Structure 1
Amino acid sequence: MAFSAPAGRSELAEINITPLVDVMLVLLVIFMVTAPLLSQPINAMLPQRTDRQVEQQPPNDLVLKVGLAGTYTLDDRPVTLAALRGLLEDARVSDPKTVLQVEAVEGAEYRALVSALAQADASGIRNIVMRN
């Protein structure tokens, strides 16, 4: 059973968009009326600029050099491995942000470097930087 147009009528089926436009215009008016009512200012406490400058001290930098044959120098002063831990603990107590910069000369023993790092770790210094 097929549907077909009668022989004398050749009409095209078209969608009536008038109700669709009416609904869209009503929705547009509703949104235009309610949008200003929904926007409210936010009460926020923002940080204010201050003119005084906060004086920050740079962290205490120590340079530990591991030399040939297991020699150590801390800030260009010769030190033994046994005394190294005590000096590093004193530096950490005086400034908890102490930075230890460790550098080994070419040809230094790996064991000496690891021993120095172990003493630094045991002293409680957590900011350790390896340099060349």
Structure 2
Amino acid sequence: MAFSVSASRSELAEINITPLVDVMLVLLVIFMVTAPMLSRPIDAMLPQPVPVKPVDPPNDLVLKVGLAGAYTLDDRAVTLSELRLRLEDARVSDPRTVLQVEAAEGADYQQLVSALAQAEASGLGNIVMRN
């Protein structure tokens, strides 16, 4: 089957836009119906902010372990036996007490471990190691 174009027929190919217009009108109606439903306010119970009362910062203690095994708690020299008592007193006065432990660069490791053991035995829960 061969197609031949006759010179006497001059038909122009045109796009039938009727189905396109039908689809566009259906979409327009759908959007016109659903748009008011989407813009309705939603009744919701939102949480209200609770006023925050200022919290006092926890008590910070600084324990330094020196080269010769010397201990200083807040720049006061203490012995290992006194250290536990002072840390217990600090914990009783403020349970949120934070102990910051610093060791000198050449300090004896055993002295540092002994100080940490005393801090743990005193019941302090917040111990921070600093450089």
* TM-score, normalised with respect to structure 1: 0.73
Give percent identity, aligned residues only. 70
Counterpart residue number, 1:35: 35
Distance 1:10 1:98, change over 3 A: farther
Distance 1:90 1:10, change over 3 A: farther
Distance 1:115 1:49, change over 3 A: closer
Counterpart residue number, 2:90: 91
Distance 1:124 1:16, change over 3 A: farther
In the TM superposition, residue 73 of structure 1 has moved relative to its aligned partner by 1.5
In the TM superposition, residue 27 of structure 1 has moved relative to its aligned partner by 1.8
Distance 1:120 1:24, change over 3 A: farther
Alignment length (residue pairs): 128
1 CA distance for matches of 2:19 and 2:111? 88
In the TM superposition, residue 36 of structure 1 has moved relative to its aligned partner by 1.6
Distance 1:100 1:4, change over 3 A: farther
Q: 1:60-71, aligned counterparts within 5 Å?
A: 60-71=59-70
**Alignment counterpart, residue 3 of structure 2, candidates 2, 5, 9:** 5
Counterpart residue number, 2:21: 21
Q: 1:109-124, aligned counterparts within 5 Å?
A: 109-124=108-123
In the TM superposition, residue 44 of structure 1 has moved relative to its aligned partner by 2.8
Q: Tell me, which stretches of 5 or more residues in structure 1 are unaligned?
A: none
In the TM superposition, residue 98 of structure 1 has moved relative to its aligned partner by 1.0
Q: Tell me, which stretches of 5 or more residues in structure 2 are unaligned?
A: none
In the TM superposition, residue 81 of structure 1 has moved relative to its aligned partner by 1.9
| Secondary structure of the structure 2 residue equivalent to 1:68 | coil
In the TM superposition, residue 13 of structure 1 has moved relative to its aligned partner by 6.7
Counterpart residue number, 2:72: 73
In the TM superposition, residue 61 of structure 1 has moved relative to its aligned partner by 0.6
**1:94 partner amino acid:** S
| Secondary structure of the structure 1 residue equivalent to 2:96 | coil
* TM-score, normalised with respect to structure 2: 0.73
Structure 1 residue ranges (4+ consecutive) displaced by more than 4 angstroms after TM superposition: 9-15
Structure 1 residues 55-89: Cα deviation after superposition (integer angstroms, max 9, x where no partner): 32111010111112212121222222233233223
Distance 1:27 1:76, change over 3 A: same
